Amino acid sequence: MCIAIPAKVVEIVNHDTILVDFGGVKREVKSTLLEDKIKLDDYVLVHIGFAMAIVEEEEALETLRLLAEIDVFNQNVEGFSEG
């Protein structure tokens, strides 16, 4: 299964590259699929190094919250299998 992760646009590097922040981890991603529609502080969905869609901040933050819950769940499940 593939998943796109929300990230906040913190810099427009050039016409086809943006710098995004994944909760403290910054990466350059390609923005060619969204043409010139991206603005600073937008949230985008990133998959395999490409910004795929612009999303509302509320939706992005809710998705990040759910992903954090899944991470905590997975850590707990791993703990059960080790014990």
pLDDT at position 80: 64
Q: Is the pLDDT of residue 22 over 60?
A: yes
Could you tell me the CA-to-CA distances from 12 to 27, 28, 59, 65 in Å, in that order? Answer: 12, 9, 22, 26
Q: Is the pLDDT of residue 23 over 70?
A: yes
Could you tell me the CA-to-CA distances from 9 to 51, 57, 63 in Å, in that order? Answer: 10, 11, 16
pLDDT in tens, 35-81: 889 999 999 999 999 999 999 999 999 999 998 898 877 777 666 66
Contacts of 40 (CB under 8 A, 6+ apart): 9, 10, 11, 12
The whole model's pTM is what? 0.83
User: Which domains, and CATH codes, for the chain?
Assistant: 5-82 (2.30.30.140)
